[in-house]
Amino acid sequence: MKTYVLKPMSRRQAMTLLGAAGLTCAVAPAALAGPEDVAARIAELTGGAAGDDALITLDMPEIAENGNAVKVAFDIDSPMTADNYVKAVHILADGNPEPDVATFNFSPAMGACYATTRMRLSKTQNVHVIAAFSDGSFGSAEATVKVTIGGCGG
Amino acid sequence: MSKVKPRVKVPKTAEVGELIEIKTLISHPMHSGRAVDGDGKLIPRQIINSFRASFNGTVVMSVDLKPSVSANPFFTFPFTVTESGTFDFVWVEDGGKEYTKSKKISVG
């Protein structure tokens, strides 16, 4: 009959094992941005100023079958004159790997303020549109999009 | 890599003061750096990270893109025509490579 002897573990061996365990934790799957991250990002962009959403109209699907290409369109009621125009529009998503989707920089030469693009959504989530006006104020609007098939590949 | 091809739709003529719509599309995979290929290997990030539209040398509109923008980035936006001239559209890829397209418009 074979006998197994349980050897006491040296300190060095113990540390090596602990180190390996630590590494395993460090490479846990990449976390998705949460609503808190988006709230923090919005605060960073706007300096915490509360937005007025009456001027922004969003056009997004309520249900997106394919998260790889979700239409996002916004229309902002602005005269787009040299002293009153929309400087920038930020699109943020609170369930994607990173909150930022795209930032549009506008100029009065456009004469109107709207734009359309397509974005990826990894799961059902809220999409925020933040408008920065030339007078330093901000407006925001948000919409929830239900996503049937996520669009983050893999 | 599939061929990257920019396309733009701008009216050829317009009246002074007319609001026109510009449509742009560039065929590009927008690799987010998160998806894997058929062999399970991570495809490195390669996206169009910025776009700008200029009219007669002045930037009228630009966009900063993140990996969350869909493949084949597509934009529509308005422009008010004041004079004849040339639109220049530039897409910048990760690594600094630029793709360009120009369109002329005449008034009257």
- Pairwise CB contact (< 8 Å): A104 & B73: no
Residue A39 falls within a domain, yes or no? yes
Residue A14 falls within a domain, yes or no? no
pLDDT band at A150, cuts 50/70/90?
A: confident
Q: CB contact, 8 Å: B61 with chain A?
A: yes
pLDDT tens, position by position, B41-96: 999 999 999 999 999 999 999 999 999 999 999 999 999 999 999 999 999 999 99
The total number of structural domains that make up chain A: 1
Residue type for A124, please? T
Residue A21 falls within a domain, yes or no? no
Residue A97 falls within a domain, yes or no? yes
- Pairwise CB contact (< 8 Å): B19 & A120: no
**CATH, domain range B5-107:** 2.60.40.10
Q: CB contact, 8 Å: B38 with chain A?
A: no
Q: CA-CA distances (angstroms) from residue A35 to A69, A72, A85, A126, B38?
A: 21, 19, 29, 8, 33
pLDDT value, residue B36: 87
- The CA distance from A88 to A78, in Å, is 12
Residue A13 falls within a domain, yes or no? no
pLDDT value, residue A72: 96
What are the residue boundaries of the structural domains of chain B, listed by start? 5-107
- Pairwise CB contact (< 8 Å): A98 & B66: yes
Distant-in-sequence contacts of B83-88, Cβ < 8 A, 24+ apart? B83/B16, B83/B56, B83/B107, B84/B108, B85/B55, B85/B56, B86/B55, B86/B56, B87/B8, B87/B10, B87/B22, B87/B53, B87/B54, B87/B55, B88/B53, B88/B54, B88/B55, B88/B57
Strand order across the B98-107 sheet = A63-66, A138-149, A125-133, A86-93, A100-106, B58-65, B48-55, B85-93, B98-107, B13-14
Residue A55 falls within a domain, yes or no? yes
Q: Which of A110, A116, A128 to mutate to test the interface with B (most CBs of B within 10 A)?
A: A110
Both tokens of residue A88?
A: 């920038």
B20: distance to nearest CA of chain A, Å?
A: 9
Q: Which residues contact A4 (CB under 8 A, 6 or more apart)?
A: none
- The CA distance from A88 to B61, in Å, is 10
pLDDT tens, position by position, B81-94: 999 999 999 999 99
pLDDT band at A24, cuts 50/70/90?
A: very low
Taking CB atoms and an 8 Å cutoff, what residues of chain B touch A109?
Answer: 55, 58, 60, 79-80, 82
Residue A64 falls within a domain, yes or no? yes
- Smallest Cβ–Cβ distance between B77 and the set A93, A110, A121 belongs to A110
Mean pLDDT of A39-47: 87
- The CA distance from B32 to A111, in Å, is 33
Which residue segment(s) compose the domain that A139 sits in? Answer: 35-149
- Pairwise CB contact (< 8 Å): A120 & B64: no
Q: CB contact, 8 Å: B71 with chain A?
A: yes
Q: What percent of chain A stands above pLDDT 90?
A: 54
pLDDT value, residue A32: 73
